[in-house]
Amino acid sequence: MRAGKLDRRVTLERATVIGKDEFGADLLRWDPVATVWAQARPNRGAERFTAAEVNGSAVMSFQIRYRPDVTVKDRLIYEGRVWNIVDVREIGRRVVTEIDATARAE
């Protein structure tokens, strides 16, 4: 991967369980793991009609230098927006980690 293509900053975050709520569900705190340089590429958007309102989502692919610790349980912050990771792939032999992520459209 050429360093010149890594022109965006993204923050990887990981959830930590800090307790339970009154219904027994986990209470999560999102802690930053790393802030890294990335290449951001828009994929496609989706829009669907649900419960009498239109819901949209944005889909992006992010390429970062290889990190073996990124999983779909993590999320990332890009341009002040929260992106949920839906797929993580290794490209090459430990050269690039490609992350597919979705965010709800504003």
Q: Cα torsion for 28, 57, 1, 65, to the nearest 10°? A: 0
Residues of the domain holding 58: 3-104
- CATH number, domain with residue 32: 2.40.10.270
Mean pLDDT of 29-43: 94
Residue 47 has pLDDT above 60, yes or no: no
Query: Model pTM?
Result: 0.79
pLDDT band at 51 (very low <50, low <70, confident <90, very high): very low
The reported pLDDT for the residue numbered 57 is: 73
Helix or strand or coil: residue 4? helix
User: Tell me, what's the pLDDT at 17?
Assistant: 93
Q: What is the pLDDT of residue 18?
A: 93
